[in-house]
């Protein structure tokens, strides 16, 4: 037994059960290789990071993906345009509205269909509400990673309302498929806009609780400041986007800089700002900066929603589309600002009912690549904080 | 800068490997078969010089494409002789994008890796490699990323046949 | 001389367990004629152990229920609501579930150590519990080295934890065990030194006697108010006690987001619940020590009033010289016991409150805090308190 075991093991391995005399014990201590995941509370899904540790110090890290690979891109080549929409819900399941929006915009870029103004505004409201919900989960679960349980439930209290708002408008709580090619599925039920306005008011009152309870908590600051620093150069080189970029102090937001729908108009009205990390608590680009950006963005989203409510118009909510949708031949790439960064859809059509290629550029996928570089040198506790601060959704990295 | 401006600049700096450009156009009313083309304009680049081209785009101070947003491939059809490599570049400074297409023969699907230019392409190339069977020469870590290490075939190729079983698990 | 020296002189020759147990002796004197002596002693011992174990289970169950309620209400929800009134039977239901669970031991685990570890942890805390005085006249063991005994026994649990971590043969559990060992070693020092401050003022290590010493000022003569260095010492003690009992923000050995469940990762069912019970019993003991040595123990104005009204002696000399149980004093002892219990649970509540509010500190920060801040501060407190007491004695005679 022991012979078989020792043969298959690399040299310098120490066996815990020494019931045979052949087993040699080496006093050198090799680094501990430890599987962080795929079943681990802090991997936000099923991701595996193969970590090499020397005591509490991480000396190497190698992320392994693919545990949640559901072949979204292959499915995109086999189902009709509209049929693919429910699949978009499932890659970043915390921001399904935004995924629907990204895909719809990409297809619309080929179609050239006109979107009614009311549909556009409802789209923005939904996308921004979902951004709030997504950031609430990101911030709440980040608190969990750091060891604070209660802020998580505070965040979910508001997210619950947000989800029931979506339930009222489209019947689903997580996978909406509400934003369709050409507009949105149906008009908002009576009283929905008023309830959204009420949600905005209440959220504005509750929001300082997150800041006071967690964001400026000294233990939280000590845990996240100067941890997992991503420099500006690194952020650009790795193709990071969204909150990760802004967390590193790069002033970039697709909503403002490459406006789609009427974000440009809202910006010109001065309704929202782009929170930009300044490295208040430590080095610029640390975990605290990233979480700060997320918390601040929630309030900006509330402002955008308010603007849309104020400028709501009557009219149809879906453009004129044929029953059997054929998309003109061509190819288009549309990137939108998802809660996690730039969600890109690269779509190739040959003029038929089915796409030739549906490429999904998930922001988490690019954001996660940076782990290999920033994990080594941190402590095991820091590793959790760093992985949490990248705010990955594994459904999106694996698609 | 709009696409025409970018194209002019690329020609002016003699960006290596620039072959042609393609812009959307209306269908020609005289030609019944022509459906026109919708979508984004893009440039066509020689695949073997793609890395150099992207480097030139990054380093030029009027293009300043400092981010590689996406790198992927497309298999246009089962009969096509060539794969496309699609690269999306983004300039944060000048707020413009550039779509690049490189044609790569299916029989010799190999090109220099873009990792030395943009680290961002590291994982995208790994995904591309496993999904399309493209070899990125000089890639530092050429393992499968989404698929299991022992997966046979390249799923996103149009001639891919779904396996009947995987390690005794029926796939039908 | 300074009380610290008196303490050494008095305490040194006394061995653990040799303290007089007035309650038992009183009982023997009262019942001695009707039963043989050995039966009485045996009966008392068995009853004592049974009561301690029962008490621990009761405390653990109540604390778990309390923890869930506290957590629930802090987190804008109700906590358990269905089993009994406000879910008060929830802990019993959970206990039954844990008992019925499959007893799993990992294949590559060291079976003997794996099974021994929870038992060691629990027995250590049961032993420590023996020093807890139920009432001024009712206790299991009236130890002259009470504080020392409790701290020694509760640090014994660390051995069990390290044992569990090692025996599970999993990397996460080893991480948890090593963290526990490092943390307890680091925080044992400030804990002991901070506790030395009231011990020095009291001049005794005996929990009952320390409590008695605080009965002046109409039951408000708590050590807390008797020395200006007592309040910082109390804060230091409380922080160190949090670390000692592995409670948030120092719950690194079982940090669920980092180490899955730390040293408990491979445990399930009743063995796991032993660790769980140990945690709550340790919390209880640490809070009890804080209550006795900082917050007046049994003493409160109510206790004082009850003592004045009902009398304090549980055993009095009867008409013909025999010792008799003084039934009249029972309300006083009940009030005193409840007072201590209340103070203890106030400490537990504070621990729960902190746990559900604060994030977890990092492992290097735990060490830094223990060695660089708490230990020197505790030493300063001890020195200051000693000087204060010496000065007081020199001035007031």
Token output for B49: 């010089």
Contact (CB, 8 A) for C144 and C11: yes
Mean pLDDT of C239-260: 84
Q: What is the dihedral of CA B33, B37, B43, B48, to 10 degrees?
A: -50
Mean pLDDT of B90-114: 88
Q: Which residues pair with A250 in a beta bridge?
A: none
Chains in contact with C, where contact means 3 or more Cβ–Cβ distances below 8 Å, are A
Token output for C294: 């900082």
Please report which confidence band the pLDDT of residue C33 belongs to, taking 50, 70 and 90 as the band edges. Answer: low
* Domain co-membership, A59 together with A94: no
* Domain co-membership, A182 together with A256: yes
Q: Which residues pair with B137 in a beta bridge?
A: B112
Using the beta-carbon criterion (under 8 Å), do B99 and A66 form an inter-chain contact?
A: no
Q: Decide if pLDDT at B156 tops 50.
A: yes
A-chain CB neighbours of C172 within 8 Å are 34
Contact (CB, 8 A) for C193 and C382: yes
Lowest mean pLDDT among A229-243, A325-339, B126-140, C20-34: C20-34
Percent of chain C with pLDDT over 70: 88
Closest CA to A301 of A181, A102, A107, A159: A159
Contact (CB, 8 A) for A368 and A390: yes
Contact (CB, 8 A) for A210 and B40: no
Using the beta-carbon criterion (under 8 Å), do A329 and B95 form an inter-chain contact?
A: no
Q: Say which residue, A240 or C27, is predicted with more confidence.
A: A240
The pLDDT of residue C322: 64
SS3 B112: strand
Please report which confidence band the pLDDT of residue C317 belongs to, taking 50, 70 and 90 as the band edges. Answer: low
* Domain co-membership, A44 together with A78: no
- Euclidean distance between CA atoms A52 and A35, whole angstroms: 9
The pLDDT of residue A135: 92
Torsion-angle region of A330 (φ positive above 0: left; ψ -120 to 50: alpha; else: beta): left
User: Is A85 near chain B, with CB under 8 Å?
Assistant: no
Q: Say which residue, B32 or A348, is predicted with more confidence.
A: A348
- Is the torsion defined by CA of C200, C201, C203, C204 positive or negative? negative
Please report which confidence band the pLDDT of residue A53 belongs to, taking 50, 70 and 90 as the band edges. Answer: confident
Q: Share the mean pLDDT of chain A.
A: 85
User: Is C107 near chain A, with CB under 8 Å?
Assistant: no
- Euclidean distance between CA atoms A251 and A274, whole angstroms: 8
Helix residue spans in chain A (DSSP H): 2-8, 72-76, 85-89, 96-111, 117-146, 150-170, 192-210, 218-224, 232-237, 243-247, 254-257, 263-268, 287-310, 363-368, 371-374, 380-389, 394-398
* Domain co-membership, A27 together with A59: yes
Contact (CB, 8 A) for B72 and B36: no
Q: Do chains C and A touch (3 or more CB pairs under 8 A)?
A: yes
Token output for C181: 């060992």
SS3 C365: helix
Q: Decide if pLDDT at A7 tops 50.
A: no
Looking at A48, A64, A80, the residue that finishes a domain is A64
C-chain CB neighbours of A154 within 8 Å are 75-76
The pLDDT of residue C1: 31
- Euclidean distance between CA atoms A80 and A105, whole angstroms: 16
Domains, chain B, with CATH or none = 3-25+38-170 (3.30.460.80)
Mean pLDDT of C237-265: 84
Pairing verdict, β B67-74 and B18-22: unpaired
Query: CATH number for the domain including A224?
Result: 1.10.645.10
* Domain co-membership, A135 together with A36: no
Residue C361's Cα: distance from chain center in Å?
A: 24
Q: Decide if pLDDT at B86 tops 70.
A: yes
- Euclidean distance between CA atoms A224 and A222, whole angstroms: 6
DSSP codes joined into one string, A11-24: TTPPPS---STT--
* Domain co-membership, A53 together with A83: no
The pLDDT of residue A194: 92
Instruction: Quote the strand ranges of chain C, DSSP E.
Output: 133-135, 138-139, 315-317, 323-325
Length of chain C: 397
Using the beta-carbon criterion (under 8 Å), do B38 and A71 form an inter-chain contact?
A: no
The pLDDT of residue C11: 35
Contact (CB, 8 A) for C169 and A16: yes
Q: Which residues pair with B136 in a beta bridge?
A: B111
Looking at A13, A44, A64, the residue that finishes a domain is A64
* Domain co-membership, A51 together with A113: no
Looking at A64, A86, A115, the residue that finishes a domain is A64
Mean pLDDT of A53-57: 81
Q: Decide if pLDDT at C30 tops 70.
A: no
- Is the torsion defined by CA of B137, B141, B144, B150 positive or negative? positive
Q: What is the dihedral of CA B53, B55, B60, B61, to 10 degrees?
A: 150
Mean pLDDT of A278-295: 87
* Domain co-membership, A153 together with A16: no
The pLDDT of residue A324: 78
Question: What H or E segment, with its residue span, contains residue B12?
Answer: helix B3-12
Chains in contact with B, where contact means 3 or more Cβ–Cβ distances below 8 Å, are A
Give the CB-side neighbour count of residue A386, counting CA atoms within 13 A. Answer: 28
Rounded to the nearest 10 degrees, what angle do helices C3-11 and C171-202 cross at?
A: 110
SS3 C198: helix
- Euclidean distance between CA atoms A6 and C11, whole angstroms: 56
User: Is A331 near chain B, with CB under 8 Å?
Assistant: yes
Whose tokens are 């031991």? That residue is C105
Most C-contacting residue of A32, A51, A146 (CB-CB within 10 A), to test interface:
A146
- Euclidean distance between CA atoms A337 and A341, whole angstroms: 6
Using the beta-carbon criterion (under 8 Å), do C75 and A379 form an inter-chain contact?
A: no
Closest CA to C315 of C35, C23, C44, C21: C23
Q: Decide if pLDDT at C228 tops 80.
A: yes
Q: Which domain covers residue A60, as residue numbers?
A: 2-64
User: Is A52 near chain C, with CB under 8 Å?
Assistant: no
pLDDT per residue over A360-375, tens digit each?
Answer: 998 988 888 888 888 8
Q: Decide if pLDDT at C7 tops 70.
A: no
Torsion-angle region of C260 (φ positive above 0: left; ψ -120 to 50: alpha; else: beta): left
- Euclidean distance between CA atoms C198 and C264, whole angstroms: 35
Contact (CB, 8 A) for B114 and B124: no
* Domain co-membership, A202 together with A330: yes
Token output for C26: 């009183």
Could you give the C-alpha distances from C107 to A12, A107, C110, C160, C168, in angstroms and in order?
Answer: 23, 55, 8, 20, 9
The pLDDT of residue C25: 66
Token output for A184: 């949105």
* Domain co-membership, A27 together with A111: no
Mean pLDDT of B4-12: 84
- Euclidean distance between CA atoms A288 and A230, whole angstroms: 11
Please report which confidence band the pLDDT of residue A201 belongs to, taking 50, 70 and 90 as the band edges. Answer: very high
A92 φ, ψ (degrees, to nearest 5): -110, 90
Contact (CB, 8 A) for B126 and B144: yes
* Domain co-membership, A29 together with A178: no
The C-alpha angle A146, A148, A149, rounded to 5 degrees, equals: 125
A-chain CB neighbours of B80 within 8 Å are none
- Euclidean distance between CA atoms C395 and A89, whole angstroms: 79
Mean pLDDT of A252-263: 88
The pLDDT of residue A15: 47
Using the beta-carbon criterion (under 8 Å), do A346 and B122 form an inter-chain contact?
A: no
Lowest mean pLDDT among A93-107, A152-166, C48-62, C167-181: C48-62
B5-12 long-range Cβ contacts below 8 angstroms, 24+ apart: B6/B63, B6/B96, B6/B98, B7/B43, B9/B60, B9/B62, B9/B63, B10/B43, B10/B56, B10/B57, B10/B63
B-chain CB neighbours of A369 within 8 Å are 119-120, 122-123
The pLDDT of residue C3: 36
Mean pLDDT of C318-323: 65
Token output for B87: 């690269």
Lowest mean pLDDT among A44-58, A76-90, A93-107, C111-125: A44-58
- Euclidean distance between CA atoms A63 and A375, whole angstroms: 10
* Domain co-membership, A45 together with A133: no
Mean pLDDT of A162-177: 89
Q: Decide if pLDDT at A381 tops 50.
A: yes
User: Is A239 near chain B, with CB under 8 Å?
Assistant: yes
Cβ within 8 Å of residue B14, ≥6 positions away: none
- Euclidean distance between CA atoms A302 and A131, whole angstroms: 10
- Euclidean distance between CA atoms A189 and A185, whole angstroms: 12
Domain count, chain A: 2
Q: Decide if pLDDT at A20 tops 60.
A: no
């Amino acid at each position: 037994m022991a012979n078989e075991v020792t043969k298959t093991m690399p040299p310098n391995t120490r066996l815990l059960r020494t019931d045979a005399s052949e087993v040699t014990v080496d006093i050198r201590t090799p680094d501990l290789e430890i599987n962080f995941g795929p079943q681990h509370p802090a991997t936000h899904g099923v991701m595996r990071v193969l970590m090499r540790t020397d005591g509490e110090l991480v000396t190497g890290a190698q992320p392994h993906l693919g545990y949640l690979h559901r072949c979204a891109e292959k499915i995109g080549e086999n189902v009709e345009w509209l049929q693919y929409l429910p699949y978009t819900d499932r890659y970043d399941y915390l921001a399904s509205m935004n995924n629907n929006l990204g895909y719809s915009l990409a297809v619309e870029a080929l179609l050239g269909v006109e979107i009614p103004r009311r549909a556009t505004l409802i789209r923005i409201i939904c996308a921004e509400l979902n951004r709030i919900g997504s950031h609430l989960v990101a911030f709440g679960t980040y608190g969990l990673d750091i060891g604070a349980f209660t802020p998580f439930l505070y965040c979910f209290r508001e997210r619950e309302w947000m989800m029931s708002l979506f339930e009222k408008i489209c019947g689903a709580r997580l996978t909406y498929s509400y934003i369709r090619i050409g507009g949105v599925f149906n008009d908002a039920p009576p009283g929905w806009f008023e309830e959204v306005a009420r949600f905005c008011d209440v959220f504005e009152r509750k929001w300082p609780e997150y800041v006071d309870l967690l964001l400026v908590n000294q233990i939280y600051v000590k845990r996240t400041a100067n941890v997992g620093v991503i420099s500006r150069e690194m952020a650009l080189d790795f193709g990071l986007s969204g909150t990760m970029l802004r967390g590193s102090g790069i002033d970039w937001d697709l909503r403002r800089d490459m406006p789609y729908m009427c974000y440009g108009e809202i910006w010109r009205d001065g309704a929202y700002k782009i929170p930009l990390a300044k490295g208040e608590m430590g080095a610029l680009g640390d975990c605290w900066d990233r979480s700060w950006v997320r918390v601040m963005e929630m309030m900006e989203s509330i402002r955008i929603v308010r603007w849309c409510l104020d400028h709501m118009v009557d009219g149809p909510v879906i453009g004129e589309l044929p029953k059997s949708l054929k998309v003109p031949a061509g190819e288009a790439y549309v990137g939108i600002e998802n809660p996690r960064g730039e969600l890109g859809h690269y779509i190739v059509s040959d003029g038929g009912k089915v796409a030739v290629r549906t490429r999904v550029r998930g922001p988490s996928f690019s954001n996660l690549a940076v782990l290999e570089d920033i994990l080594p040198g941190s402590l095991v506790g820091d590793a959790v904080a760093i992985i949490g601060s990248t705010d990955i959704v594994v459904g999106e990295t694996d698609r | 800068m709009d696409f025409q401006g970018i194209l002019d600049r690329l020609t002016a700096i003699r960006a290596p490997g620039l072959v042609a450009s393609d812009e959307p156009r209306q269908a020609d009313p005289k030609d019944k078969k022509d459906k026109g083309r919708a979508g984004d304009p893009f440039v066509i680049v020689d695949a073997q010089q793609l890395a150099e081209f992207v480097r030139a785009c990054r380093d030029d101070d009027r293009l300043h494409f400092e981010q590689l947003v996406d790198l992927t491939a497309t298999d246009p059809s089962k009969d096509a002789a060539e794969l496309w490599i699609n690269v999306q570049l983004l300039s944060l400074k000048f707020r413009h994008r550039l779509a690049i297409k490189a044609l790569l023969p299916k029989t010799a699907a190999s090109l220099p890796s873009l990792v030395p230019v943009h680290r961002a392409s590291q994982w995208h190339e790994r995904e591309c490699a496993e999904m399309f069977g493209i070899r990125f020469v000089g890639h530092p870590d050429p393992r499968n990323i989404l698929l299991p290490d022992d997966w046979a075939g390249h799923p996103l190729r149009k001639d891919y046949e779904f396996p009947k079983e995987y390690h005794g698990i029926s796939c039908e | 001389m300074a009380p610290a020296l008196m303490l050494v002189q008095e305490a040194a020759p006394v061995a653990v367990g040799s303290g007089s147990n007035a309650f038992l002796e009183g009982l023997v004197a009262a019942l001695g004629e009707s039963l043989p002596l050995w039966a009485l002693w045996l009966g008392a011992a068995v009853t004592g152990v049974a009561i301690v174990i029962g008490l621990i289970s009761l405390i653990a169950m109540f604390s778990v229920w309390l923890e869930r309620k506290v957590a629930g209400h802090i987190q804008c929800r109700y906590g358990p609501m269905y089993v009994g009134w406000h879910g008060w039977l929830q802990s019993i239901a959970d206990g039954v579930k844990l008992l019925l669970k499959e007893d799993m031991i990992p294949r590559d685990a060291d079976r003997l150590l794996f099974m021994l570890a929870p038992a060691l942890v629990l027995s250590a805390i049961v032993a420590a519990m023996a020093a807890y005085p139920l009432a001024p006249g009712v206790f299991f063991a009236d130890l002259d080295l009470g504080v020392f005994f409790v701290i020694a026994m509760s640090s014994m649990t660390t051995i069990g934890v390290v044992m569990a971590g090692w025996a599970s043969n999993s990397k996460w559990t080893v991480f948890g065990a090593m963290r526990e060992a490092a943390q307890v070693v680091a925080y044992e020092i400030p804990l002991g030194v901070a506790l030395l401050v009231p011990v020095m003022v009291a001049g005794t290590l005996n929990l009952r006697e320390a409590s008695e010493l605080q009965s002046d000022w109409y039951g408000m003569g708590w050590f807390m108010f008797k020395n200006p260095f007592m309040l910082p010492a109390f804060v230091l003690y409380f922080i160190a006690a949090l670390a000692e009992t592995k409670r948030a923000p120092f719950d690194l050995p079982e940090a669920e987001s980092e180490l899955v469940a730390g040293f408990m990762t491979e445990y399930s069912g009743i063995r796991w619940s032993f660790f769980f019970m140990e945690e709550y019993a340790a919390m209880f003991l640490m809070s009890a020590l804080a209550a006795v040595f900082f917050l007046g123990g049994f003493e409160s104005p109510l206790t004082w009033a009850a003592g004045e009204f009902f009398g304090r002696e549980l055993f009095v000399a009867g008409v013909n010289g025999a010792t008799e149980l003084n039934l009249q004093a029972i309300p006083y002892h009940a009030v005193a016991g409840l007072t201590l219990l209340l103070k203890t649970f106030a400490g537990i509540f504070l621990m729960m409150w902190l746990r559900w509010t604060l994030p977890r500190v990092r492992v290097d920060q735990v060490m830094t805090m223990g060695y660089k801040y708490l230990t020197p501060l505790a030493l300063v407190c001890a020195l200051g308190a000693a000087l204060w007491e010496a000065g007081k004695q020199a001035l007031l005679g």
